[in-house]
Structure 1
Amino acid sequence: MKLTVVGGGSTYTPELVDGIARLRDRLPVTELVLVDPDAGRLPLVGGVAQRIMAAYGHPATVRWTTDLDDGVTGAGAVLLQLRVGGQAARNRDETWPLECGCVGQETTGAGGLAKALRTVPVVLDIAERVRQLAAPDAWIVDFTNPVGIVTRALLQAGHRAVGLCNVAIGFQRRFATAAGVAPESVALDHFGLNHLTWIRGVTIDGEEVLPQILAERAQEVADDIELPVELVHRLGMIPSYYLRYYYAHDAVVEELRHKETRASAVATMERQLLEMYADPTLDHKPELLAKRGGAFYSEAAVNLLASLVAGTGDVQVANVRNNGTMPFLADDAVIEVPAVIGADGAVPLPVAPVPAVQRGLIAHVTAYEELALTAAVHGGRDRVFEAMLAHPLIGQYDRADRLTDLLLSENKDFLAWT
């Protein structure tokens, strides 16, 4: 199978390539193509990718190109991991919302909306080329943030797509390590939207262990997600790290005002990583890559791709069309839940009734995502304002107005309709 990675010049890519090489028995890749418009990065990332594959003895051809059509022609699967505007645009997303007392973050709030507006049109254009040039049954796997909105855009346009996030697999791997069991022994009752999820059940070989985790390791869990342990106990669930932007919004805003942006820190790491990748003797992913983010991304991506291609019918957490799974949401909403992964795609498993505390926030954010997607596809200041007004972290009309002006000013070079 030809596997194409769009955004292949990312410093993430060696993490993905390491997984492809290690898990070669699961995913039969014969050609790996890295596509990226950055001709400066591509040879550095492509070179280390080639050496990693060779070090594992993987026989696949590895090449790289700036030509999207060349990259996707005949591909059996296309993985999207692009960042329109790079870390510079992300840095601004994390900065200007603070001027209005709102969290600055790349997937949540006003910054997340800016990223969606920049990203969705580009992804849809790429997907059309995939539809025309890739293999007829090719899958698109989206790791591009905001994953929920981007995946919804792909599905609404009729593409064979599944969204992927590493939050669930990260929890699964940590629970497995703590229990001293294989990751496959751990199953999660994980529900919500991308970057808005809760874990209300953890089973090991079918035995429920979440009460034990909360009794013995709640403080460790709370430290990991940066929320008070008292809140974890009161919820009786484990919220993802991203819930801190909702449950502790004002405190996080104050914190962000006095620290380096994540984008700035990542940009520094990326420069260091690219210097490492330039070393012709480097044939493994460096330890620094673990600090870049995306833990267990390679396992999540390879597992999902392998199951789509082979039609294995195993269960993985993915971003999929709701289709009545959560009856309080529209069918075309995209949710993040355990799903059966087969040759026909990802089918969500039934989800137990969602408590009102979570249900209200999920419904609220889903409404925002619907409006955000409409703004990304059709443009227009009024549509951007409506999405701002609908977001639970914004809401007030004067704040939404000001944030809309800031977003449009900061992103005028990326939005064709401005």
Structure 2
Amino acid sequence: MKIAVVGGGSTYTPELVDGVARIGLPVTELALVDPAADRLDVVGAFAARIFAHLGHPGRVTWTSDPVAGLSDADAVLIQLRVGGQAARTSDETFPLECGCVGQETTGAGGLAKALRTVPVVLDVAEQARRLARPGAWIVNFTNPVGIMTRALLDAGHRAVGLCNVAIGLQRRIAAQYAVDPDAVRLDHVGLNHLTWERAVHIDGVDVLPGMLDEKLDVDFPTEVITAQRAIPSYYLRYFYHHDEEVAKERGAQTRGQAVAEIERELLAMYADPALVTKPELLAKRGGAFYSEAALGLLSSLHGVPGFHSVNVRNRGTLPFLPDEAVVEVTAPVTPAGPAPDPRGWLEPSQRGLISHVSAYEELAVEAAVHGGRSRVYHALLAHPLVGQHDLADQLTDRLLAANSAYLPWIHA
């Protein structure tokens, strides 16, 4: 199997490489593709040393030529960050000027990232359609995952979106109960970065009621948990504690700035020819358990059925959403793809928030694909964390000013 990793020059790529080598997926070639040749040379050489150190029989290749990287690939993983950490820092700061949360996937910052990134991801997917093997899956890890996945599916690509939120919680619960992670299955439901765990099955028994009664170790008031009888994802803090999060962000170092510092250190480490294992510092880079999630999903898409938390077309999974919406749920996965079961009743507060954000995501895809100030404004006006004309108008101007180098339609 040949796996192409677009965005392979990421400092996080060695985590994926280490996972491929340790898990033993039958990979004959892991092709890292990235336009940043200098960075890619450092990451690629280190990735090859990891493969050799762990005795994996496959080979690691790296190239800035997408034709070489994508040709004959059996699967394409997309993990892009258009504009790098500098653009991320912008996403995390310009909304604060309007009293709104600054975050790379949520609110105005998330829309900015989508506008920069959707056209690039769609271009990669079109190249993969021509160059990869027939039926090759595209696995998208690029944020905002739900918006990216919807854009890919709207364009007719064989794609599935992947996030590490659910697998991170699964691993924490497995450690808490001293069981193998595969024994834990979550009823993970919602949209990307807007999810709840409605059940936690360990060997078929739902332990969530007991967990809730014992007071969960999560950063939410008891009332939130009690009202919904579910575990909200961390990202729901931006909705349930919006003003508190804004106050914390003001004057603090952004996550983008912190990651940029970590990346500089990591690249210096990776350049050491004696380094053959991933350094401990990589754990601070973010994306915990992404390699396990990606490789587990690829394994199921290529022959070993399993359950995974994925971003897929709704198609009746959440009956209150349109079929063409993209949802994030735990689903059985086979080589035919994910096949989620319809979910039952959700709390009205959950249904309402999911519906609201899903409508925003629909408008965000339109703005990213077609451009235009009015589409950007319309998407922001629809977002529950904006929702006012003055805010949407101000945020639109700030977003476009901060991203003019990446949005050619602004100057048309």
Consecutive unaligned residues of structure 2, counting only runs of 5 or more, are none
Instruction: Verify the 8 A CA contact 1:33 1:65 in the aligned structure 2.
Output: yes
Worse-matched range after superposition: 75-84 or 37-46: 37-46
Partner of 1:205: 203
Identity %: 65
Secondary structure, counterpart of 1:74 in structure 2: coil
Partner of 2:252: 259
**In structure 2, how many angstroms separate the alpha carbons of the residues matched to 1:263 and 1:349?**
37
1:349 positional shift: 2.2
What is the identity, as a one-letter code, of the residue corresponding to 2:377? F
**In structure 1, how many angstroms separate the alpha carbons of the residues matched to 2:308 and 2:376?**
34
Q: Does 1:290 align with 2:318?
A: no
Equivalent runs, 1:65-84 vs 2, <5 Å: 65-84=63-82
1:12 positional shift: 0.8
1:217 positional shift: 4.8
Partner of 2:267: 274
1:159-197 CA-partner distances (Å, limit 9, x unpaired): 110000000001111100110100110011110000000
1:214 positional shift: 2.0
1:129-173 CA-partner distances (Å, limit 9, x unpaired): 000010011110000000000000111111110000000001111
Find 2:332's aligned residue among 320, 332, 340: 340
Instruction: Verify the 8 A CA contact 1:192 1:335 in the aligned structure 2.
Output: yes
Equivalent runs, 1:161-172 vs 2, <5 Å: 161-172=159-170
**In structure 2, how many angstroms separate the alpha carbons of the residues matched to 1:289 and 1:6?**
19
**In structure 1, how many angstroms separate the alpha carbons of the residues matched to 2:309 and 2:228?**
22
Instruction: Verify the 8 A CA contact 1:151 1:334 in the aligned structure 2.
Output: yes
Instruction: Verify the 8 A CA contact 1:87 1:263 in the aligned structure 2.
Output: yes
Equivalent runs, 1:3-402 vs 2, <5 Å: 3-24=3-24, 27-218=25-216, 220=217, 222=218, 226-310=219-303, 312-402=304-394
**In structure 2, how many angstroms separate the alpha carbons of the residues matched to 1:234 and 1:339?**
26
1:354 positional shift: 1.5
1:236-263 CA-partner distances (Å, limit 9, x unpaired): 2110000000000001001100310000
Instruction: Verify the 8 A CA contact 2:319 2:342 in the aligned structure 1.
Output: no
Secondary structure, counterpart of 2:312 in structure 1: strand
Instruction: Verify the 8 A CA contact 1:191 1:199 in the aligned structure 2.
Output: yes
What is the identity, as a one-letter code, of the residue corresponding to 1:118? R
**In structure 2, how many angstroms separate the alpha carbons of the residues matched to 1:278 and 1:198?**
41
Instruction: Verify the 8 A CA contact 1:198 1:240 in the aligned structure 2.
Output: yes
1:297-356 CA-partner distances (Å, limit 9, x unpaired): 11000000111011x332111111100111111111110001121112111122122110
Q: TM-score, normalised by structure 2?
A: 0.98
Q: TM-score, normalised by structure 1?
A: 0.97
Secondary structure, counterpart of 1:348 in structure 2: coil
What is the identity, as a one-letter code, of the residue corresponding to 1:3? I
What is the identity, as a one-letter code, of the residue corresponding to 2:110? G
**In structure 2, how many angstroms separate the alpha carbons of the residues matched to 1:153 and 1:391?**
18
**In structure 1, how many angstroms separate the alpha carbons of the residues matched to 2:335 and 2:156?**
16
What is the identity, as a one-letter code, of the residue corresponding to 1:325? T
1:227 positional shift: 2.5
Secondary structure, counterpart of 1:402 in structure 2: helix
1:26-62 CA-partner distances (Å, limit 9, x unpaired): x210001100111111111111111111111001111
Consecutive unaligned residues of structure 1, counting only runs of 5 or more, are none
Instruction: Verify the 8 A CA contact 2:228 2:347 in the aligned structure 1.
Output: no
1:284 positional shift: 1.1
